[in-house]
Structure 1
Amino acid sequence: MDVSGLRVALFSGNYNYVRDGANQALNRFVGYLLRQGAAVRVYSPTTDTPAFEPAGDLVSTPSFPVPGRKEYRVPHRMSAQVRRDLKAFQPNLIHLSSPDPLNHRALSWARDHGLPAVASVHTRFETYPRYYGLAFLEPLIESMLRRFYRRCDAIVAPSDSMAQLLREQRMSYDVGIWTRGIDRDIFNPGRRSLEWRQSVGIEDDAPVIGFIGRLVMEKGLDVFSDAIDQLAARQVRHQVLIVGEGPAREWFQNRLPNAVFTGFQGGPDLGRAVASMDMLFNPSVTETFGNVTLEAMACGLPTVAARATGSESLVTEGVTGRLIRPGAIGDFADALQHYCDDGAARARAGEAARMRAERNGWDQVNQALVDTYLRVIRQRAQGMVLRSSPVP
């Protein structure tokens, strides 16, 4: 079989109703599959106000809003309509992209029908409770994730560091890599615009510390704010540029009243905003890859990031940026001050980052996932059921 013989049923908790790095990667991948002649059917919650048009055919699934985070929805069951649609579509592989109730049901459906199942890991769900005062739940969530992923034929992670963590957590015996690509037409140093910086109130020669992403507490907004406070106390010249939207925006603006908040930026506008920064500050420990880090690197920016999964696979300590122990406010401030004060060091690290980002083209990284698909289908056909995948 080649890619044109694939019939993929993809299950997602958020395919297009709220924009994030994970679902943009999934949509790009579906587009790639369709261009290669594969058939794809996507099952996910939908809303009347999606963030963007979906790639491929999207089937709506029953869901309810997440308490306290109503912009997100939980797909809680596989309806009779979805089951009929699946049966008519006749997939030969199930792709699971979120360990929610619907994906659990889809995994059971795959097992009942003798189909291979591949799961992609997009975020570290087990770390989320710590941002809401519920850190004691982390071991329980990790155990639940292990039960889910071990029933899959294979799982894929977006970075080497995340893949290694999944192995250490005993999530699966078959952990592959599906990394992320970069659109170099959008993200490149040529997008930098002093005119745009001036239009949002940024001085031409001020070192700009940037944040890119959804404004939610699990992105490390508290750590970001505390480190910026230290720079101000040290009287380090800088300006802060925040690109993104989310429920924590009001908290973040109150915390950093002197920062420039642009709201959501997309496409060429996002490329311009990123390239117009001077460094990226990414203190989050929840990412499995860090799309924004790669985008910043492609624009020639050094990154100061938490030493965590994802960032460790992109940022080379002391070469393309700095990797700091998570939550070490003073060390984050030291690294940011270094790049604010030393323009030459900033330029060297930014050029090294740009060269590193050249490795990530979308077609190459998406073909790696296709290769995983074809391998697990072949193994199933040959009766090679992995230890991580109990016989149905």
Structure 2
Amino acid sequence: MRALDCTTEAPCPPSRLRIALVTETFPPEVNGVAMTLERMVDGLVERGYDMQLVRPRQASDSTPAGAHGFDEVLVRGLKLPRYDGLRFGLPARSRLLREWSRRRPDLVHVATEGPLGWSAVTVANTLRVPVTSDFHTNFDRYSAHYGIGWLRRPVAAYLRRFHNRSATTYVPTAELVRSLGDQGYARVEAIGRGVDTALFDPLRRSEALRRDWGLAPDGLAVISVGRLAPEKNLGLVLRAFAAIREQRADARLILVGDGPLRDTLARTCPDAVLAGTRHREDLAAHYASSDLFLFPSQTETFGNVTLEAMASGVCTLAYGYAAAAETIRDLDNGAVVRCGDEDGFIERAIQLAVNDRLRAELGEAARRSAEGLSWGHVVDTFADALLRAWRRGGAAQPWPAATGAGGRAD
């Protein structure tokens, strides 16, 4: 276990700090938040922390609770609309109050902002257990892409209220620290993201896979990885690829992921390879076997796929915010354009598509950059942040136990 040092000014932590991590999503679900949390939980366990994971029981669960090497509390959940395979946790105030009164955690960390998360913050505040939170997803921005833009302001207000009930909110970029601070969020701290450079590696490039995609030996594989959903701005991927095809008839579009737009994309771009959801080595081979990664989303808090593409040695083009703003230097280790500049995005995509040497140099530089972004350093930073929150003690400002998002804690 990594030493948990203490000073005369602060209490010395227990020999095994017990942390209850509450989340609506966790593997086997496939998304960036689930993957990030798995890395964090595994890393904390490896460092000797006593972890409890509180999450909804997922339809895809195939292993019993506790089989992962840490304590799990599985609660009721419901299917998340328009997100097949994902569920959100129902309020569980009574269950958590019993669990945490019986075996009190030293700190509660709430990773998602649904009803389960609200219950967890309420119970932690009631029991005077220090509570921290994560801001992983711009749910308020998503509303405009699903025909409920009128909900953006109420959702934003709920998220702000939710996070201001915790002692500290952790976000993945310094840019998001500033943005949330301007919106009235208090006590926001940046903790970055890492990438598994052993898994995502240029050496996984597969000529057999490229042949399966229908590519000629020197053909151009343009890839997009992520959920096939409106918030990912995939229309710009299609427009950029159409412009590329006018210059490179040997180009092929590879869409990795699944979601509500799959059928629409198949009709709109019948020549595209719809690879579906891919996992681990298979996913890594899809990245490494590609030549140009396009990521025009503007709704990410980070975008783990950016680091995965870079680690795979793939030339990456993205808007200059979130992960790209933190890690990509334009035309040095990738390419970035100003957010919302669709014409600039398409022009840069063409520039990269027609210049094989430039694309290769940027991909090699991207790999070198990714090699310095280890998960070990990220987990150490997260562990230190949780320890500081434990030392400070207590919630930021306890709320009445009966108060909740709709007037009730449950």
Q: Structure 1 pair 193/235, CA: closer, same or farther in 2 (3 Å)? A: closer
What is the SS of the residue equivalent to 2:85? strand
Counterpart residue identity of residue 115, structure 1: V
- Shift of the alpha carbon at 1:119? 0.7
Instruction: Give 1:274 deviation, angstroms.
Output: 0.5
Matched, 1:142 2:156: yes
> Is 1:129 the equivalent of 2:140?
no
Secondary structure (helix, strand or coil) at the match of 1:5 reads: coil
Letter of the 1:362 partner, please give it: W
Name 2:209's counterpart in structure 1.
Answer: 196
In structure 2, which of residues 6, 17, 22 is the aligned counterpart of residue 11 of structure 1? 22
Contact 1:339 1:346 in 2 (8 A): yes
Distance 2:228 2:69 in 1: 25
Question: Secondary structure, in 3 states, of the residue corresponding to 2:86?
Answer: strand
Q: State the Cα distance separating 1:305 from its structure 2 match.
A: 0.8
For residue 47 of structure 1, report the CA deviation from its aligned partner.
Answer: 2.4
User: Which of 211, 216, 232 lines up with 1:219 in the alignment?
Assistant: 232
Whole-Å Cα distance in 1 between the matches of residues 287 and 182 of structure 2? 34
Please say if 1:88 is aligned against 2:102: yes
Tell me, in whole angstroms, the C-alpha distance in 2 between the residues paired with 1:156 and 1:316: 25
Conserved in 1, the CA contact under 8 Å of 2:58 and 2:87? Answer: no
Tell me what 2:183 maps to: 169
C-alpha deviations, 1:174-202, integer Å up to 9, x for none? Answer: 22222222112111111112222112322
Rate the CA distance shift 1:149–1:294 in 2: closer, same or farther, 3 A.
Answer: same
Find 1:27's aligned residue among 38, 42, 45: 38
**Contact 2:197–2:370 under 8 Å retained in 1:** no
Query: What is residue 333 of structure 1 aligned with on the other side?
Result: 346
Amino acid at match of 2:16: G
Segment of structure 1 superposing worse, 130-139 or 201-210: 130-139
Q: Cα offset for 1:283?
A: 0.8
TM-score (norm 1): 0.91
1:345 aligns with 2:352: no
Is 234-243 or 112-121 further displaced after alignment? 234-243
Q: What's the C-alpha RMSD, in Å, of the aligned pairs?
A: 2.2
Of the candidates 360, 368, 371, which is equivalent to residue 355 of structure 1?
Answer: 368
Cα deviation for residue 148 of structure 1 reads 0.9
* Bigger mean CA deviation after superposition, 129-138 or 273-282: 129-138
Q: How does 1:234-249 map to 2 (within 5 A)?
A: 237-249=250-262
State the alpha-carbon separation in 2 of the partners of residues 308 and 203 from structure 1: 34
Which residue in 2 is equivalent to 1:373? Answer: 386
Residue 101 of structure 1 deviates from its aligned partner by 1.3
Counterpart-to-counterpart distance in 2, 1:319 and 1:55: 42
The TM-score normalised by the length of structure 2 is 0.87
Once residues 261 and 20 of structure 1 are traced to their aligned partners in structure 2, the CA distance between those partners, rounded to angstroms, is: 18
Q: Report if aligned partners of 2:307, 2:323 keep a CA contact under 8 Å in 1.
A: no
Amino acid at match of 2:389: V
Residue 390 of structure 1 aligns with an amino acid whose one-letter code is Q
Distance 2:61 2:179 in 1: 33
**Alpha-carbon separation, structure 2, partners of 1:3 and 1:249:** 50
> Unaligned 5+ residue runs, structure 1?
none
Structure 2 CA distance, aligned partners of 1:205 and 1:51? 42
Within-5 A mapping of 1:69-88: 69-78=83-92, 80-88=94-102
Aligned mates of 2:302, 2:14 — CA distance in 1: 26
The count of residues paired between Structure 1 and Structure 2 equals 385
What is the Cα deviation at residue 308 of structure 1? 2.8
State the partner residue of 1:47.
Answer: 58
What does residue 289 of structure 1 align with?
A: 302
Residue of structure 1 in register with 2:8 after alignment: none
What percent identity do the matched residue pairs reach? 29
Shifted more, 52-61 versus 313-322: the winner is 52-61
Q: Report the 3-state secondary structure (helix = DSSP H, G, I; strand = E; otherwise coil) of the residue aligned with 1:71.
A: coil
For 2:373 and 2:354, the matched residues in 1 are separated by 30
Q: Could you report, residue by residue, the CA deviation over 1:287-324 in whole angstroms, capped at 9, with x for unpaired residues?
A: 11111110111111221112332321122223222222
Distance (Å, rounded) in 1 between the aligned partners of 2:46 and 2:301: 27
For 2:62 and 2:330, how far apart are their aligned partners in 1?
35
Residue 390, structure 1, aligned to residue 397, structure 2 = yes
Cα offset, 1:155, TM superposition: 1.1
Q: How far did 1:17 drift?
A: 5.0
Q: 2: CA distance between counterparts of 1:137 and 1:346?
A: 41
**Partner deviation per Cα, 1:195-214 (whole Å, 9 max, x = no partner):** 22112322221122111122
Pairing 1:112–2:112 present: no
Alpha-carbon spacing, 1:211–1:68, altered in 2? closer, same or farther (3 Å): closer
Give the residue type in structure 1 aligned to 2:34: N
3-state secondary structure, aligned to 1:348: helix
Stretch moving more, 3-12 or 211-220: 3-12
1:324–1:331 Cα contact (<8 Å) kept: yes
Contact 2:215 2:251 in 1 (8 A): no
Residues 54 and 336 of structure 1, relative CA distance in 2, 3 Å threshold:
farther
1:44-91, CA deviations, whole angstroms, 9 ceiling, x for partnerless residues?
111232388866332221222233445332222115334322222310
Matched with 1:208 is 221
Conserved in 2, the CA contact under 8 Å of 1:300 and 1:350? yes
| 1:230 partner SS | helix
